[in-house]
Amino acid sequence: MVEKANQAANRPYGLAKPAIKSLITAERAQKFELLIHLIINFNRPLIVNGPAGIGKSTLLTVLREQRPVEGHYYFMAGDHQLNFAAIQERLRSFLETEQPACKGFSLDDAIALLEQKKLKLILMIDNAGELIPGLIDTLSEYALANPALRVIFSLTQDELYIKSRSDRSVEDCHFIELLPLSEKQCRDFLQNLSGKPDAPISFNAVSDNMVEYVYRETHGIPGKIIAELPRLSDFERLGAPVRFSIGLFALLAIAGIAFVGWEALAPESDHELTESLPRSQQQALSVPLLVEKFAGKQMVNDRIVTDVSEQKPKMTNVVAAPVAAVPDRKIETTVKNEAINYPEVVSEAAENRKPESPIAGPSIIKAEPLVPTVADEKIETKPQETIDSNRSEDDRTWLFKQSSDHFTLQLMVLSSRQSIVNVLNKYQHLKQDLKYLETRIGGKEKFILLYGSFSSHVEAERATGKLPAEFKGAWVRRFAVLQNDIKNAN
């Protein structure tokens, strides 16, 4: 099955169906440019890494379809049953099909012929975490011995951690890390997906609530966003995917069953309570209490009691004056209890009761609008320090003074000198440790921003936690590799 998938993936470009794969963001397009640059100029193996579903396979698919570098592209899925001899045989057979002149050649001779023709053989291994331990080391050594061969591995972060302990060459590979989408990029991606044929959501359906929900559930990982799409079709109507509505319905159903059960038990409990009382009190309880609704009032034994809902004051644009304290009055339940125990006493008290004086209504005071006053203050601003945009030399002198065994953090790759100047001006407090290198990637001028010098990989990784959020995707690089890249690029 894997073999058939590999054959379909490696059809000649002219026979492949045209497919448009979105790189989603400008940052990913920049990673793609870097990938092309590294393929053209260096034969050191490459590792594309990031969480599952982040888009590693998509990046390799775009590379295979666009074919930006002259040569032959072979794609294969990682498999624990693969060994070095099996991979060599697959590549040799593939080159015989692609280059008739290579027929009958060994793989080494076929690759040498490609080098003479200034062509590249690009081997892409997806899910490389499935490869047996040590195979990445063997393939890396073979690539370094054959200048026309390029090897690209696709690894998740966990697989990269495991392979770095079984295959020492991982540390010397070039890395291209794909990061999750931001919330804004998540919105753009959803809107892009809404324009696809048979999309379950429309462009106008992509609301703030939907974006917030999707970003929270998927953490900005494109593969998870695509998997979430079928559940978003009823989002605007229901407010959330159906699975949440089902849970709410089940909760309400349980509450309803509990209420019905309580209602069924209530009469029996009242009857038992009545039976336990003395006979005289049972007779008092048997007298019905006359209650009727009339114009928002309740009539209780011919006395008007204001409905509770009417006692709430209406909100008006006035300020009420303080109201005098009201003397304590017995509430209706107290009267009822007295009637049960001492009916004759209560009846006499009711006859002698005098109507209470009405409570004076609140007086109305016209509220004057308050106008806030702000003291006049002179705000002094200090002129922002800037770095000379006409600076003609980068920090390669600093680069080659660093120990080749030490590490640095590559923060970003920018396309113009002014962009580098803007970043350096923005982070003045880091300027002592920020360095940049001018180079060419894919035939275009690029500026690599670096941070610090560290004696170990762990120390460099620890430093990323102290950097601004913009640099959280920093890439730990060994100076030896970076120094070699800059030498070869010039």
DSSP string covering 64-108, please? Answer: HHH--SSEEEEEEE--TT--HHHHHHHHHHHHHHH-GGGTT--HH
How much is the pLDDT for 56? 94
- Pairing state between β 434-441 and 444-454: antiparallel
Contact 24, 181 (CB under 8 A): yes
SS3 197: coil
Q: Does residue 311 form part of some domain?
A: no
Region of 430 on the Ramachandran plot (φ > 0 left; ψ -120 to 50 alpha; else beta) = alpha
How much is the pLDDT for 382? 42
Q: Which of 178, 181, 171, 180 is nearest to 476 (CA)?
A: 171
Q: Which residues are bridge partners to 72 per DSSP?
A: 121
Please tell me the distance from the alpha carbon of residue 487 to that of residue 400, in angstroms, as a whole number: 10
Question: If residue 418 lies in a helix (H) or strand (E), which one and from where to where?
Answer: helix 417-426
CA distances from 366 to 360, 362, 373, 461 (A): 19, 13, 21, 65
Count of C-beta atoms within a 10 Å radius of residue 390:
7
- In this structure, the answer to whether residues 107 and 217 fall within a common structural domain is no
* DSSP for residue 453: E
- In this structure, the answer to whether residues 113 and 206 fall within a common structural domain is no
Please enumerate in sequence order all residues whose Cβ is within 8 A of that of 180, keeping only pairs 6 or more positions apart, or say none. Answer: 51, 54, 219, 220, 221
Domain final residue pick, 131, 152, 177? 177
- In this structure, the answer to whether residues 134 and 46 fall within a common structural domain is yes
- In this structure, the answer to whether residues 119 and 194 fall within a common structural domain is no
What one-letter code names the amino acid at 254?
I
Domain final residue pick, 225, 240, 255? 240
Region of 127 on the Ramachandran plot (φ > 0 left; ψ -120 to 50 alpha; else beta) = left
pLDDT digit string (tens) for the chain, length 490 residues:
444 445 444 544 333 333 334 578 888 999 999 999 999 999 899 999 988 899 999 999 999 999 999 999 999 999 999 999 999 999 999 999 998 888 899 999 999 999 999 999 999 999 999 999 999 999 999 999 999 999 999 999 888 888 988 999 998 999 999 988 988 999 999 998 888 888 889 888 899 999 988 888 888 899 999 998 888 887 766 655 544 444 555 566 666 666 655 555 554 444 444 454 555 555 544 444 444 444 444 444 444 444 444 444 444 444 444 444 444 444 444 444 444 444 444 444 444 444 444 444 444 444 455 544 444 444 444 444 444 444 456 888 999 999 988 999 988 888 788 888 888 888 888 878 899 998 886 667 888 899 999 998 888 888 888 888 878 778 888 888 888 888 877 6
Q: Which of 170, 176, 184 is nearest to 129 (CA)?
A: 170
* Domain coverage including residue 402: 396-489
Q: Which residues are bridge partners to 454 per DSSP?
A: 407
Q: Does residue 464 form part of some domain?
A: yes
CATH number of 54's domain: 3.40.50.300
- In this structure, the answer to whether residues 108 and 212 fall within a common structural domain is no
Q: Does residue 60 form part of some domain?
A: yes
Q: Does residue 10 form part of some domain?
A: yes
Q: How many domains does the chain have?
A: 3
- In this structure, the answer to whether residues 138 and 199 fall within a common structural domain is no
- In this structure, the answer to whether residues 130 and 166 fall within a common structural domain is yes
Q: Does residue 337 form part of some domain?
A: no
Q: Does residue 325 form part of some domain?
A: no
What one-letter code names the amino acid at 420?
I
Q: Does residue 308 form part of some domain?
A: no
CATH number of 432's domain: 3.30.70.1070
- In this structure, the answer to whether residues 140 and 225 fall within a common structural domain is no
Domain final residue pick, 215, 240, 265? 240
Q: Does residue 264 form part of some domain?
A: no
Please enumerate in sequence order all residues whose Cβ is within 8 A of that of 234, keeping only pairs 6 or more positions apart, or say none. Answer: 241, 242
- In this structure, the answer to whether residues 161 and 23 fall within a common structural domain is yes
- In this structure, the answer to whether residues 94 and 125 fall within a common structural domain is yes
Count of C-beta atoms within a 10 Å radius of residue 180:
19
By CB atoms closer than 10 A (0-12, 13-18, 19+), residue 388 is: exposed
How much is the pLDDT for 248? 52
Report CA torsion sign: 331, 337, 340, 346: negative
- In this structure, the answer to whether residues 198 and 235 fall within a common structural domain is yes
- Which pTM does this prediction carry? 0.50
- In this structure, the answer to whether residues 8 and 93 fall within a common structural domain is yes
Please tell me the distance from the alpha carbon of residue 388 to that of residue 418, in angstroms, as a whole number: 10
